Amino acid sequence: MFAPTALRKRCAQWLFATGLFLMLGACVEKPSTLERVKEDGVLRVITRNSPATYFQDRNGETGFEYELVKRFADDLGVKLEIETADNIDEMFDQLGKPSGPVLAAAGLVSSEKRNIQAKFSHPYLEVTPQVIYRNGRSRPTQAKGLIGKKIMVLKGSSHAEQLAALKKQFPTLEYEESDAVEVVDLLRMVDEGQIDLTLVDSNELAMNQVYFPNVRVAFDLGDSRDQRWAVAAGEDNSLLNEVNEFLDKAQKNGTLQRLKDRYYGHVDVLGYVGAYTFAQHLQQRLPKYEKHFKASAKVEQVDWRLLAAIGYQESMWQPEVTSKTGVRGLMMTQRTAQAMGVSNRLDAKQSITGGAKYFMLVKEQLDDSIKEPDRTWFALAGYNVGSGHLEDARTLAKREGLNPNKWLDVKKMLPRLSQKQWYSKTRYGYARGGEPVHFVANIRRYYDILTWVTQPQLEGQVAEGNLHVPGVNKDKPAEQSPPM
């Protein structure tokens, strides 16, 4: 009897110890997603390759979503690690996997289906889904007009969900979903007549409109919607709460507005005829002067494409033409040419060298409190209207309670310099204050296009890593009218 009793006692002790160990183990909580991010020192984000989200140029990574999520990573004090998905379904599949991305930042819109797959942040950008058609072809004006058309949209996109809902109402509606294309491909296919229609969000059309002068908006399909970031579904809200706090702060302190202005605030500058003309000049004129822009850029340590954009705004890359502002040669007025030691404005090399030197001089003279990217926009404005008038506009901005170091605020004040009630209170008096606003907007648009079309990858082809590069359509638009 003694042996079995002792055995039972030892078994009981072992079971008790094991149970205690398991209980203690259960009491140790797993680190939250936010804690893991901070412990690892890395924020892993999944997105799409597109001009409205994330892409790479010679200067590195860029794009609206990239810029915003990079600020979030900096706010957390961690490194940002970007991963791109081949399609939207893959993005949701990868979200929250072990050692995978913890955040999706790709211009996503929440829906009933997606709310099962993930949890969404507070909104940061309002967009409108739009039906796109080719100018010169019949334009549908309502959902019923989609029947019988060749339509393609991104696989797994919110636009595919919209069409699926419409198909219940119109059973004969047909459309194709593809994971082999991006938005720029869809717009190109409409522009070239390969498909009749596509659906894109208004911000993505705005970013790409200039590359495809034949595309038009047929109509808005439904109301505007909010874009949001997404985290994995589940009970862990630690990262989501931090994201929401960041986005709310970015909304209040103007960060979001500045990014919107940078990427979308100047997208309608060229229009349709201008887009076609610029596409021609990229091919016919720029190659003659590109080496001079690059040489001057190297000396002055500035992006050559910015100098080229200034040159186009001043002369459309025609050295023999005199602009309405007195520019003769590629980018010099007589007075500025003399100040920069340029003896012959019609000499392209001299003109570009002098223009680059003058631009950097204006930039260096700006107040140290003006930081990039605003510093570049201020320098462009000063290049156009003069540093004195620019300072007057900054003073007006300060009086109005605006930030004199932010282009978004100062550009509101510049047009006042042509109004007596305002310029009479300034040091330097009257100026055509609206001109520098348009000057900067035009150059930013030209610069955007040059940034895209001079990427290392072959223009118009899918580059290594599935980065889609939009080519500039060189075909003349079928009609020179604005969108209806």
Dihedral angle sign, alpha carbons of residues 133, 138, 142, 145:
negative
How far apart are alpha carbons 408 and 394 in whole angstroms? 11
Both tokens of 464, joined, read 């290594």
Would residue 314 show up in a list of annotated catalytic residues for this protein? yes
Q: From the candidates 314, 372, 459, 479, which is the catalytic residue?
A: 314
How far apart are alpha carbons 228 and 125 in whole angstroms? 7
Nearest to 72 by CA among 295, 280, 231: 231
- Is beta strand 176-178 parallel, antiparallel or unpaired with respect to 152-154? parallel
Both tokens of 278, joined, read 């610029």
Residue in the block written with tokens 């003399």 = 338
Q: Are 119 and 239 in contact (CB under 8 A)?
A: no
Both tokens of 102, joined, read 């913890």
For the annotated catalytic residues, the residue numbers are 314
